[in-house]
Amino acid sequence: MSSDSNHLSERSTARAFWVTGPGEACIRDTPVQHRPLDSSEPWVVVQTLWSGVSRGTEALVFNGRVPPSEFDRMRAPFQEGAFPWPVKYGYANVGRVLEGPDELVGRTVFCLYPHQTHYSVPASVVTRVPNGVPPERAILAANMETAINGLWDAMPAVGDRIAVVGLGVVGLLVSWLASRIPGTQVTAIDNNPGRAKIAEALGLSFATESSVDTHDLVVHASGNESGLSTALALAGQDATLLEMSWYGDKSVSIPLGASFHSRRLRLISSQVGQLPPARVPRWTHRKRLELALELLQHEVLDHLISGEAHFEQMPETMSRILSSDSDTLCHRIKY
């Protein structure tokens, strides 16, 4: 065990990012929990290398828009504090194991942990990052999990005509995964023309709008009411519309008149916190995360990283990248 490792395990505090009010945040010293004396389960000490900002969800948290009804369901696995604030929130952390079981020491791991310089958790909650995935790309694992779960819910088939409305990180990952199903025709739609280069780099057909209403599957991931209306209009007869946006405390209006019923449209939701019932017999959350990390071996996914900042700059950085007019995709934090 290295002297650095010994030193780190003896520290009682780490530096962590906390949301302290509406649009307000700070870096504060935070106690580090270590393995309880009565626990026989092995623990690890992890030094964070990178963390990722999940823009959609973290913007709602940062601006205090988590509705009280969702305070419990919205808790991150290692969240501290309570909604609306002060709260330590986040779930895309990649680090190096400094202490723990021999097979994990020195390994790069992913953990659903907030933005913090180092931490200690049970060894069972960290997942090894495959050798072919650089740590700075592995922060996309949580978003990839969401995309996988969404497609499991939607069940696209060979040859399907698919439209994805809203090209944030999740929308782009859903589009990319769907385009790899043989015979599918995927159109990636966003009213921001700046998304065109990124979509094309992923091998996707990009459009700012579409009048085609014969899609077998439409995925909505824009987080905007107007995008949901657009998605509804693109669905063909007996098609499925998968809603992947989460609006927090915002009420949303959707036009369910006109031809909604005559087209026999199916409107379903997807949320990564639970596995689709059809997958439960064969899959676990851990297996799904391992799959997500394996799928990140493709260099083309680096196009989803739109910026980078140092950890100590997070309070100022978050104010900028979580604004409504930001072009941010995944912003990574360097430690």
Q: pLDDT tens across 39-51, in order?
A: 899 999 999 999 9
Cα distance between residue 111 and residue 48, in whole Å: 10
DSSP symbols for 217-233: EEEE-S-SHHHHHHHHH
239 and 258 inside one domain: yes
SS3 of residue 116 by DSSP: strand
Residue 10 pLDDT more than 60? Answer: no
150 and 250 inside one domain: yes
Contact 53, 331 (CB under 8 A): yes
Percent with pLDDT over 90 in the chain = 90
Number of Cβ within a 10 Å radius of residue 236? 17
Exposure string for 47-75, b = 16+ CB within 10 A, e = fewer: bbbbbbbbbbbbbbbbbbebeeeeeeebb
Q: What are phi and psi of 25, to 5 degrees?
A: -155, 165
Strand pairing report for 235-243 and 215-220? parallel
- One-letter identity of residue 52: G
How many domains are there within the chain? 2
What average pLDDT does the segment 42-65 reach? 96
What average pLDDT does the segment 109-130 reach? 98
Cα distance between residue 167 and residue 54, in whole Å: 14
The single residue listed with the structure tokens 């990952």 is 173
189 and 161 inside one domain: yes
pLDDT at 326: 76
123 and 219 inside one domain: no
Is residue 264 situated within a structural domain? yes
310 and 234 inside one domain: no
Please compute, for residue 312, the number of CA atoms within 13 A of its CA located in the half-sphere on the CB side: 0
| Mean confidence (pLDDT) of the chain | 95
The single residue listed with the structure tokens 């949580």 is 142
pLDDT at 5: 45
Cα distance between residue 311 and residue 293, in whole Å: 23
Cα pseudo-dihedral 314, 132, 146, 117, rounded to 10: -30
> For the segment 236-264, what is each residue's pLDDT rounded down to a tens digit?
999 999 999 999 999 999 999 989 999 99
Question: Of 278, 308, 326, which residue is a domain's last?
Answer: 278
The residue with greater pLDDT, 250 or 294, is 294
CA distances from 204 to 162, 195, 236 (A): 11, 11, 21
125 and 199 inside one domain: no
pLDDT at 324: 72
Cα distance between residue 222 and residue 56, in whole Å: 9
Helices (H), the chain: 3-10, 55-62, 135-138, 141-154, 169-179, 196-201, 225-234, 285-295, 314-321
Residue 217 is part of a domain; what is its CATH number? Answer: 3.40.50.720
In sign, the C-alpha dihedral spanning 41, 289, 19, 319 is positive
> For the segment 310-323, what is each residue's pLDDT rounded down to a tens digit?
999 999 999 999 98
Per the confidence metrics, is the pTM higher than 0.85? Answer: yes
Cα pseudo-dihedral 131, 132, 135, 140, rounded to 10: -130
Contact 159, 130 (CB under 8 A): no
Length of the chain: 335
92 and 45 inside one domain: yes
pLDDT at 11: 66
Q: What are phi and psi of 238, to 5 degrees?
A: 60, 25
Structure tokens at 88: 């330590």
213 and 130 inside one domain: no
Residue 308 is part of a domain; what is its CATH number? Answer: 3.90.180.10
159 and 118 inside one domain: no
Structure tokens at 325: 């007019």
Percent with pLDDT over 70 in the chain = 97
Residue 307 pLDDT more than 80? Answer: yes
Cα distance between residue 165 and residue 163, in whole Å: 6
Lowest-confidence segment of 1-5, 160-164, 191-195, 317-321 by average pLDDT: 1-5
Domain residues for the domain of 181 are 143-278
